[in-house]
Structure 1
Amino acid sequence: MPGFVTDLPWNQTIGDPVPANTPHAVSVSLPTWKANVAYEEGEAWILDKMQCGYPRFFIAKPIERLAQAIVRQHGDQQSDKAMLFPTHSCAIRCKDFFHRQQPKIDLSSLHILDYVPHPEKGPSAQSKKVLPRVTALVYPKELWPVAKSFWQHTGEGISSRQADFCQKAFDDGSMVEASTVSPSGTPRLSKGPRRYQKHVSVDYGIPPAAITNGHADGNGTATAEVGAPDSVQFVEERFGRNLDVTFAAQARLAIRKRIAGSLSANEDLPLSLEKPSDTDAVNERSRDVPGFSVDDVYLYPMGMNAIFHSHQALMHARGELPSVMFGFPYVDTLKVLEKFGPSTTFYGFGSAEELDDLERRLEAGEKYLALYCEFPGNPLLRTPDLKRIRSLADKHDFAVVVDETIGNFLNVHVLPYADVVVSSLTKVFSGDSNVMGGSLILNPQSQYYGILKRVLESEYEDKQFAEDSIYMERNSRDFITRTHRINHNGEAVADILRSHPAIKQVNYPKYGPTKQYYDACKLPTGGYGGLLSATFHRMEDAEVFFDYLQTEKGPSLGTNFTLSSPFVILAHYNELEWAAKYGCEATLVRFSIGLEDNEVLRKTFESALSAIPKGDRT
């Protein structure tokens, strides 16, 4: 394994946030091939340098600090750990997951603790300020792998911003465990520390969640849409316990309108909300889906959380039937279907032959809950035949759930072929790599629309923390212009890589046998996106190229800056042989192309390619 390139200046950032000096960064620097392998093997020299990580794979330090403080207060530091969630129902789902994964577990060892505003020290129930609240599931340390699995697969955990916010309230006593508050609202007298408190189901001091535009505000505060100034200075000054919940509600509404296509103005709140709908955007976004509106858009704290809840909602609506995963997926989508449903049929190539096999099964009487697919897939960028899938679904009664994160709804229009569309807003919608978010869209023309709407009316919780919503809204205002530039840059980099003999294959929606399926859903003004990957003939070539490449390097995608990763090493290190069967070889490097000057990008990639030793690659 080449080691001399680790001395290059751009490779001296191991474990740093990406972007640099970002307190709530979504990515982390793993700048060399060796660093990625060491991370996967759990070597101390790399883990000790990790200041942050991708939020579903790495428990952020603010979250860990608050969890440890709660264990010190209500658990045993030697034997317990805690997982933190935005709502009580999330903790219940985690507890149920423990029981499914470990049927012999002693359920009395699992304790749910709800933290709520102190009735005297915290904000009043009528306050327009965001209220501190968090739910902890305290569990035995030996069950950490199960807890981590739930955290990673479902995206149900709190964000680092919420942890920071609640830590301040915890430290000064303005947020307390619910059982320490009496029904009258006065603190209960305590005779000293107790290991656990009996759960109290009512969050005293928190009013019922208000409803705004059909959505409950998961922060337990009124969400009346009142005008509020919006500027960087205003938002920064109001962070902390002075954040006005009405401003957060406006941000969420703006995000949903932006996703629906009825808001494209790059302007401050509330001015942008007061403008009439952008009719051109509406017609383009919903031209084939009559009845579609902002009320069909639901927000989640992470993209994977939207996928998880789409599966939960479908099982609520249709029963616990098996699902289909079509195409090689992002790892956790398949895990959600496998671990939270009865069974899963996996078609890893996403080919016509696999659709033939599915059709034979359906004709033989097999029943399915839903077919999940990505448009296009990650990291091979293959595109499913949505028209044929839709035809099979209509004939044989199963739902179609499409993850459009990679294509994104400014490039492709998949809603007419889907019952549910999910997306990670963390990616290009945000771009700044400093906040997580997800969305779920219902197709009003779906046969399941009515029942899914009823399920979501009773089960949906708006769990995205207020500060995260504000960051997401601000980041997404220039989503349209950024997308067009990223499309242009993505094509340019793909062409550079395709011309080099060291590269075995470039994966990009514009090229390859599935281009026709992408083009069938591509909007007239859309492009092929900024995500691509390249497989090298030789491992040593991939390593040298990656180490010499002067881009940011770490997990995630859709960033405003180019971000590179040896994706298969990072996502499938313990199953490399399995991944290779589906074309995901260990030499694959994935690139998320950003907003850099096109000429700068060209020189960056050509320079790294020139570092590859010339020689026989057969």
Structure 2
Amino acid sequence: MTVPMPAENDIEVGETIPFMTAHAVSVSLPTWRANVGYEEGEEWVLSKMKTGYPRFFINKIIQQLAEAVMEKHGGDDEHAMLFPSHAIALRCQDFFIGQDPELNEQIRIVDLVPAAEKARSEDLAVISPRISAVLFPKSKFSIAKTFWQHTGDGISSRRAEYCLNLFSKGALVDQASIDKTSRLCKGPRRYQKKTSIDLTNDSNGSNGAGEAQDPTQFVEERWGRNLDISMTRNAKLGVRRRIAGSLTEDTDLNEALKLEKDVERTRGVADFSEDDVYLYPCGMSSIYNAHRNLMSAKGSLKSIVFGFPYIDTLKIVEKFGPGCVFYGLGSSEELDDLEKRLESGERFLALFTEFPGNPLLMSPDLERIHKLADQYDFCVVVDETIGNFLNVNVLPFADIVVSSLTKAFSGDSNVMGGSLILNPKGKKYDLLKRTFENDYEDNHWAEDSIFLERNSRDFVSRIERINTNADAICNVLLSHPRVKQVNYPKHSPTRSNYEKCRTPNGGYGGLLSATFYTKKDAIAFFDNLDTVKGPSLGTNFTLRLTLRDTGSLWGIGLVCVLGCRSRSCTC
């Protein structure tokens, strides 16, 4: 059966972005009205959504697995939230009780593991298909969703797909009552095939082994370019080496693995290597676990959130600790106020900031923040997602650097990932290193790691293109009489702070925002721009745009320029 492809940018409300991608991390919201409808929970939008950003919209495959688990292990008035490990499920249980102590006896954990574990195959040992289900009263779903959204530690849709296959065949069972006679299923067929790193498909659309593929699988796997699942450990090592900054040009996995561990890095910090890089299920998970481990290492102190942050960063320090001091502008005047607090004796756990910030693209003064941190004994956590390490080097000014790999690092909008790196020259490095080594669980699902490695092979050339395109569009908007303001690091009043961290060949990134004089013009711009539109920054085709209407301005358009692979792009 031939599946018709839509026009390049004509994707209906609620369709996946990219089109026909089962594990897409973005969804089409093609008009201003659709965005407003989504934010306000209007049924005409929500009812059409096939997917959404995974922390906000629980993928339908995950929902299917949760329903199957509930049917077998739950009660009529219970619901389930799924996590990749028992430790995370325990943290979810603790969060429930912290929010509502009366739930103490009503929260249960069911650990599901492969039956007959001793007989499992080598591939399953690599994949480790385990899930831990937290069962709770249906009426308390909002508490579970809060934990899922803010921590980012829920299971991925690919893990759910694999485990649903096992569970439906009785091969994923309650650890408390393992049936050792259960037959172990090998999971979805694509986990069983053997492919080379760059296998080319034949004219019939097969995967090179004579096996016809489902069209959505064919689109997502990109003509057999994925590694075999047994290469998961190498794929993760390759990703960590790229994040460490060892690669200065597009590189496949074989080349990445040939590099020596102590190869010269672009991060500019002595003794830094991939050993100080930790992978997490998504960017928010890396932020949540940074905060959690900092409290474990230094005690339960308030934090500082400096600059206008991604909202979940603020929620993490508010909901999972004693709170924070919030400096929303990230200005020098606010640093003056912070310094006065410190001089008066106030003490803090850490300062969380983004470089640059979203959506105003202001760059905090990391040099001054670093000096204050050293003087007054707090840690600095910098989110480099928007800037990315090819454009800016923030590690010398931070104790911890976090990033969402879901965005530009991946680019294909079909996999989640996050990274956390420690600065080996930071004053608290030894303490933090011990803490993370004792606590860390690698919960990045095997096939997600395979996709992430594949997608990031051309990261270097994509960032060069992204920088060029964003700069060009910024210049167009700056010259337009209906645009009131354009926010971009190159034209920001905080550009000098950005330049202190800009790498020798770095640009100014792919994100910019524009404010229009009238809401009517903002709507007209949004609705008539011939691009795919949806949440997330993780696409590599033409450009992607979302919007924010602050209420205090006539309209603000948040534009993300993410490369030009479109045959019709004229950037």
**TM, length-normalised to structure 2:** 0.89
Aligned mates of 1:478, 1:244 — CA distance in 2: 19
Residues 523 and 435 of structure 1, relative CA distance in 2, 3 Å threshold: same
For 1:243-279, what per-residue CA distance to the aligned partner results, in whole angstroms no more than 9, with x for missing partners?
9654110000000011112245645444541344694
Identity of aligned residues (%): 53
The equivalent of 1:261 in structure 2 is: 245
Aligned mates of 1:265, 1:329 — CA distance in 2: 31
- 2:213 is equivalent to residue 231 of structure 1: no
Shift of 1:562: 3.9
Report matched runs for 1:529-548 at 5 Å.
529-548=509-528
Aligned mates of 1:229, 1:330 — CA distance in 2: 39
Aligned mates of 1:449, 1:303 — CA distance in 2: 21
- 2:326 is equivalent to residue 332 of structure 1: no
The equivalent of 1:595 in structure 2 is: 563
Whichever residue aligns with residue 98 of structure 2, its letter is R
Aligned residues: 537
Aligned mates of 2:14, 2:338 — CA distance in 1: 44
- 2:252 is equivalent to residue 285 of structure 1: no
Larger deviation, residues 244-253 vs 120-129: 120-129
Aligned with 2:361 (options 362, 365, 381): 381
Aligned mates of 2:231, 2:486 — CA distance in 1: 44
Q: Counterpart of 2:127 in 1: which secondary structure?
A: coil
Aligned mates of 2:153, 2:229 — CA distance in 1: 22
Q: Counterpart of 2:491 in 1: which secondary structure?
A: coil
Aligned with 1:249 (options 201, 218, 233): 233
Aligned mates of 1:83, 1:232 — CA distance in 2: 38
The equivalent of 1:174 in structure 2 is: 171
Aligned mates of 1:243, 1:409 — CA distance in 2: 25
Shift of 1:508: 0.3
- 2:402 is equivalent to residue 429 of structure 1: no
Shift of 1:19: 0.9
Report matched runs for 1:396-475 at 5 Å.
396-475=376-455
Instruction: Provide the alpha-carbon RMSD of the alignment.
Output: 2.7
Aligned mates of 2:230, 2:109 — CA distance in 1: 30
Aligned with 1:156 (options 153, 156, 174): 153
Confirm or deny: 8 A CA contact 1:493 1:601 kept in the other structure: no
Aligned with 1:505 (options 466, 485, 489): 485
Q: Counterpart of 2:548 in 1: which secondary structure?
A: helix
Confirm or deny: 8 A CA contact 1:562 1:592 kept in the other structure: no
Confirm or deny: 8 A CA contact 1:554 1:565 kept in the other structure: yes
Residues 408 and 120 of structure 1, relative CA distance in 2, 3 Å threshold: closer
Aligned mates of 1:114, 1:172 — CA distance in 2: 17
Shift of 1:178: 0.8
Confirm or deny: 8 A CA contact 1:315 1:369 kept in the other structure: yes
Shift of 1:558: 4.2
Aligned mates of 2:424, 2:43 — CA distance in 1: 51
Confirm or deny: 8 A CA contact 2:543 2:563 kept in the other structure: no
Confirm or deny: 8 A CA contact 2:11 2:532 kept in the other structure: no
Shift of 1:229: 4.0
Q: Counterpart of 2:267 in 1: which secondary structure?
A: helix
For 1:81-110, what per-residue CA distance to the aligned partner results, in whole angstroms no more than 9, with x for missing partners?
11110111111111111112223x322211
Residues 600 and 496 of structure 1, relative CA distance in 2, 3 Å threshold: farther
Shift of 1:589: 1.2
For 1:344-369, what per-residue CA distance to the aligned partner results, in whole angstroms no more than 9, with x for missing partners?
10000001110010000000000000
Residues 496 and 244 of structure 1, relative CA distance in 2, 3 Å threshold: closer
Confirm or deny: 8 A CA contact 2:350 2:378 kept in the other structure: yes
Q: Counterpart of 1:285 in 2: which secondary structure?
A: coil
The equivalent of 2:530 in structure 1 is: 550
Q: Counterpart of 1:136 in 2: which secondary structure?
A: strand
Unaligned runs of 5+ in 2: 1-6, 185-193, 212-216
For 1:310-354, what per-residue CA distance to the aligned partner results, in whole angstroms no more than 9, with x for missing partners?
001100100000000000011100000111110110000001110
Confirm or deny: 8 A CA contact 1:328 1:350 kept in the other structure: yes
Q: Counterpart of 1:409 in 2: which secondary structure?
A: coil
Shift of 1:471: 0.2
Residues 258 and 597 of structure 1, relative CA distance in 2, 3 Å threshold: closer
Residues 41 and 160 of structure 1, relative CA distance in 2, 3 Å threshold: same
Unaligned runs of 5+ in 1: 1-7, 188-204, 206-226, 570-575, 604-618
